[in-house]
Structure 1
């Protein structure tokens, strides 16, 4: 019955994907299910919600699921294929939402027989893929009782179905976008010395960016300064009067990120002075690194039943960003990954053919339920 429940919810969500902060139908479905279960919820934002079951004590725990989809055209030939052109649940958020609803159903049914001691929050968070929805939600909501721990669970198609993965400390990287804007002075190529070439400035910036990791950051720290897009110039026979460069920075340590940003600004100043171009660099503050709190991680390890699910500790953090990181700034938190790869489903996250077998979700429901039950025992 539980497999049928999560399958129906997940496939309904999959057919009707919505991008960040526009998850209106998704939110309506979540609230419909909560109303059927008789579970209370708050709506601090226009989309998403925070459901809760109140306990008898002053202790609380929270579980989070993200609900938004991606601007990707689905290529899967399945009956539950996305009905919305150009949008797809390509990161498993439909599965995350389904698992959390199933967890609510389990806990609510038990609560009706024996009232729970601890308040439990279920966070249905909008806009993980963009806009830092976690940060927006936390800035807009005041918990009745601050959670002692917050847990999040994410599907991982690089690992076999039913394997749980995590690690203490950093588990995903920070994600910060940068953009260089270069303004030179054009002239005809015959009088190139009268111009100020944006292409020359862009070349200097490109060269110096590649030196930051080598010369200015600790050798054992993993950092990425990725160049994603660049251009300069207007015509084949004129000195380029404008240039542009954009990319993303991935780090695991905030002090490394600050060093990178400082060096980028210094590079802009140096290239500007040398080439007589006006150069500005802008940063779009993204997601800080997700760092599993030592206490929350230890609690999770002691809670899971390794006879039910295999646990593998990740040796190297992932270099993608994840806005679950903001919860770690609010309360001790721990982020987990659940393998969902099998012979039929082998493609990765954020691809047009990402899919999974819903039976993998049962492992995730069990893990979250085990964490909650241990929390109840210790209160």
Structure 2
């Protein structure tokens, strides 16, 4: 089987059988069967996801991570390997990330068998990137501590960047992602006696206005932040004063001080609603993903590995506002994350991440494996 056949077969199987975060049981079994066929040792610290390991010829340990979960999206691609699971789709390319790492495993095992694997290698097939912070869950098990990882690398496909190009950036490359939710409770009354009620509708208008002004009045205008309102509602019936309300959204920022400022301002807004409208208001925050911070000392290995395989390096001035749970790995080792371009207008691969028509050319997965292999060989070498 050629490498193109390998990546095509595995990627399309995974694409046809997507599973949501923390439900990747069949995906995990599929990876396990592959590892067994290659005689690569592995462990399962969590119910879903796999960590595999090969011992190399040095005391250095390099880790590579792929995420394995899908999204609750109905696929609209008219392709032979369309998702077979209703309202679940690999709409963020994790089927590709997983397949590229599988090919890297296969290559590393061949090197190991020949006695030529330069360093120890950890292969992380991680669950729940989209929802649940699978990286953080895995780290908290302590399973990765035993490997004493020196550096960890990850990739993400990027349909807004042309094939053959890769986005590289030191320090911040993705934003922190924190969810927030407001819960409002007032007092209902008939509309004929509206003055007897405490309207969450009135409070919601105030809440919407104040949230929309946080960026303008309370954060540095030179820094990019998002305070996004995703969903809200208030009220029960057409002729009653609304007695309940709910609002949810997400905060994206690169600066944790900015995040703290946003959260403090939201707490003040919640307090003001009680004072102004006699409506109780509570805001809750879901532990989010920190910004992904790339270690500058690893950049030389990244750039050399990409240019060696004739991939064009793009260095943007500003980070993306995506959230990415690869960010948690910086707790345990220096890390570096890049975005691999998949845009191909001739083939119609132009649709964005988290959309129902995302697709890409599997050939790019071979180039990801090329990049991984070069990283493995050049780690620790003198590169000017």
> For this structure pair, what is the TM-score category when the shorter chain's length is used for normalisation?
over 0.9
Most deviating of 300-309 and 69-78: 300-309
Residue 267, structure 1, aligned to residue 258, structure 2: no
Structure 1 Cα separation of the partners of residues 225 and 381 of structure 2: 41
| 1:317 counterpart SS class | coil
Match of 1:286 in 2: 288
SS of the residue corresponding to residue 379 of structure 2 reads helix
**1:221 alignment partner in structure 2:** 223
Q: Is this contact kept in 2: 1:58–1:145, CA < 8 A?
A: no
1:108, distance to aligned residue in structure 2 (A): 1.5
2:353 and 2:238 map into 1 onto residues whose CA distance is: 41
- For residue 232 of structure 1, the aligned residue among 234, 238, 246 is 234
CA contact under 8 A between 2:191 and 2:239: conserved in structure 1? yes
- Who is 2:54 aligned against? 53
Q: Partner of 1:13 in structure 2?
A: 14
Unpaired segments of 5 or more residues in structure 2? Answer: none
Superposed displacement of residue 173, structure 1: 1.1
* Contact persistence 1:118–1:376 (CA under 8 A): no
Aligned equivalents of 1:189, 1:96: Cα separation in 2: 56
> Counterpart in 1 of 2:361?
357
Unaligned runs of 5+ in 1: none
Equivalent pairs, count: 378
Structure 1 distance, partners of 2:234, 2:176, is: 29
Q: CA deviation at 1:85?
A: 1.5
Instruction: Report SS of the residue matched to 1:324.
Output: helix
Q: Per-residue CA shift, 1:14-61, capped at 9, x if unaligned?
A: 111111111111111111111111111111011111111012432211
Kindly tell me: are residues 363 and 115 of structure 1, through their superposed partners in 2, closer, same or farther at Cα, counting changes over 3 Å?
closer
- Cα distance in structure 2, aligned partners of 1:235 and 1:144: 58
**Which secondary structure state, in structure 2, belongs to the residue aligned with residue 51 of structure 1?**
strand
How far off its partner does 1:189 sit? 2.5
Match of 1:95 in 2: 96
Q: TM-score, normalised by structure 1?
A: 0.96
Is the CA contact 2:169–2:315 (under 8 Å) kept in the aligned structure 1?
A: yes
RMSD: 1.5
SS of 2:107's equivalent in the other structure is helix
Q: TM-score, normalised by structure 2?
A: 0.95
Q: How does 1:164-313 map to 2 (within 5 A)?
A: 164-306=166-308, 308-313=310-315
Higher mean C-alpha displacement, 159-168 vs 51-60: 51-60
Question: Is the Cα contact below 8 Å between 2:118 and 2:376 reproduced in 1?
Answer: no
Deviation of 1:117 after TM superposition, in Å, equals 4.2
Is 1:127 aligned with 2:131?
Answer: no
In structure 1, what is the equivalent of residue 112 of structure 2?
111
**Counterpart-to-counterpart distance in 2, 1:307 and 1:21:** 35
Contact 1:63 1:123 in 2 (8 A): yes
Counterpart position of 1:66: 67
Distance in structure 1 (CA, Å) of the matches to 2:144 and 2:66: 18
1:265, 1:281 within 8 Å by CA — same for their partners in 2?
Answer: yes
Distance of 2:304 and 2:310 partners within structure 1: 13
Partner of 2:271, secondary structure, is: helix
3-state SS of paired residue (2:246): strand
- Name the structure 2 match of 1:370: 374
**Secondary structure of the corresponding residue to residue 25 of structure 1:** helix
